[in-house]
Amino acid sequence: MLQEAGRGARTLAASSLLAPLLASCQRGDRPLLLAGRGELPAAWLKQLHDPWRSQLLEDPAAVVNGLSKAALVQLTDGWATSLPPSRWQPLAAPALLARLTPEAALVSRLFQAEGAPALAYPWAFTPWVLVLRSRPDLAARSREGWSLLFDPSLRDKLVLPSSPRLVMQLAAGGPEAVTVDLDRLRELRRQALAHDDRDGLNLLLAGDAEAAVLPAQRLIPLLRRDPRLRILLPASGAPLAWNLLLRPAGHPVAPPLEWLAAILEPPLLQSLLTAGWVPPLPRAALEPLLAKLPRPMAELLLPPPELLRRCWSLPPLDVRQRLMLQNLWDAAAP
């Protein structure tokens, strides 16, 4: 009898040890969504149902390193286009993409020519803006646009993007970075306290910086609760940042189409707008929901048509273009 009891105890112990392993195997069989922390709206992520699971990583580089284990990944357009198109498989969601604007169609092809397959779901976009902290004097000069970046009072008080290409466009005042004046680029680089997309907002809020160039989406939630901040979207236009979902090549799992479409309809769409996320839907679909928000916030989320037409996306560069910009950047070292 004692022997039977011993066998039963050993069986129970073995089962207890195997349970986590079995659960781990079951989780491993479930399709995985990889995303950067803070790069997907929490309300949307909560609606991702079985069999899908999600994992949030600290930075885009970690997401790229995890492509082999993911069926769906979140990246910005700059990170997605830094990889060869062969690393992605078609999204296979034509009805979903048909609901978006023509500008989004180009981004869905990762800026490849018309007729190329749609590889990405460009579910949100936002302009880069100039945000000022406790600088009403500069805010009063908002008509000067990106030229405010050169104000002498911002020396070592300005956070610029980490992308040299973006900084060159800001110095040039438009998308043609190759036309930038070297002296002007050198002067802008001298202004910078840091080139930091990730912690730039923290530097601003802590008082180490008085101005920063950041995606508007990160700032929208702060507008109502931090009166020190003023956000300027220059009338000359601004670079656009796109947030994408993509299917890594080699994963046969179909995308969760119902979940992908959920952000295009109320009530989730309204909560996304309030948090600063703007899907590239036709203006007629967004304006009734934006009308419920304060006008300054609504115009940052979806700029007026004439201003939005002056904004630009950043298609990938070929080798010659990259080399040219790198040479310009090196020549303008402060």
Q: Is the model's pLDDT at 127 over the cut of 80?
A: yes
Instruction: Please check whether residue 273 is in contact with residue 289, taking contact to mean a CB–CB distance below 8 angstroms.
Output: yes
Digit-coded pLDDT (tens) for 244-296: 999 999 999 999 999 999 999 999 999 999 999 999 999 999 999 999 999 99
pLDDT at 15: 44
Tokens representing 295 are 């006008």
Task: Report the mean per-residue pLDDT for the chain.
Answer: 92
> What pLDDT shows up at residue 197?
87
pLDDT for residue 179 = 84
Whether the CB-CB separation of 80 and 244 falls below 8 Å is answered with yes
Instruction: Return d(Cα 220, Cα 126) in angstroms, integer.
Output: 11
Q: Kindly state the percentage of the chain with pLDDT values over 70.
A: 92
C-alpha to C-alpha distance for 259 and 123, rounded to whole angstroms = 12
Q: Confidence band (pLDDT; 50, 70, 90) for 65?
A: very high
Q: Is 188 exposed, middle or buried (0-12, 13-18, 19+ CB in 10 A)?
A: buried
The residue ranges of every structural domain in the chain are 32-125+241-309, 126-239+315-331
Residue 101 to residue 177: CA distance in whole angstroms = 26
Q: What is the mean pLDDT of residues 105-122?
A: 97
- The pLDDT of 49-64, averaged and rounded, is 96
Name which of 9-13, 155-159, 186-190, 209-213 the model is least confident about: 9-13
How many Å apart are CA 283 and CA 288, to the nearest integer? 9
Say yes or no to pLDDT of 2 above 90: no
**Confidence label for 176 from pLDDT (cuts 50, 70 and 90):** confident
In the prediction, which pLDDT does 267 show?
95
Taken in order 63, 67, 68, 72, the sign of the CA dihedral is positive
pLDDT at 245: 99
Question: φ and ψ at 244, to 5 degrees?
Answer: -125, 155
Residue 28 has what pLDDT?
A: 57
Q: Half-sphere exposure (CA, 13 Å, Cβ side) for 236?
A: 15
Instruction: Say if residues 252 and 239 touch (Cβ distance below 8 Å).
Output: no
Kindly provide the b/e burial profile for residues 25-61, where b requires at least 16 CB atoms within 10 angstroms of the residue's own CB.
eeeeeebbbbbbeebbbebbeeebeeebebebbeebe
Residue range 6-50, pLDDT digits in tens: 444 444 444 444 443 334 334 458 999 999 999 999 999 999 999
Q: Which CATH class is domain 32-125+241-309?
A: alpha beta
Give residue 178's pLDDT: 78
Q: What is the CATH number of domain 126-239+315-331?
A: 3.40.190.10
92-113 per-residue burial string, b: 16 or more CB within 10 A, e: under 16: ebeebbeebbebbebbbbbbbe
User: Measured between alpha carbons, how far is residue 120 from residues 8, 22, 94, 107 in Å?
Assistant: 54, 34, 11, 7
What's the rounded Cα separation, in Å, for the pair 55 and 268? 21
Which of 255, 247, 263 lies closest to 89, judged by CA? 247
DSSP 8-state code for residue 30: S
Rg (CA), the chain: 23
Q: Mean pLDDT check: name the lowest of 14-23, 37-46, 91-100, 135-144.
A: 14-23
Equal fold, 32-125+241-309 vs 126-239+315-331:
yes
Q: What is the model's pLDDT at position 177?
A: 79
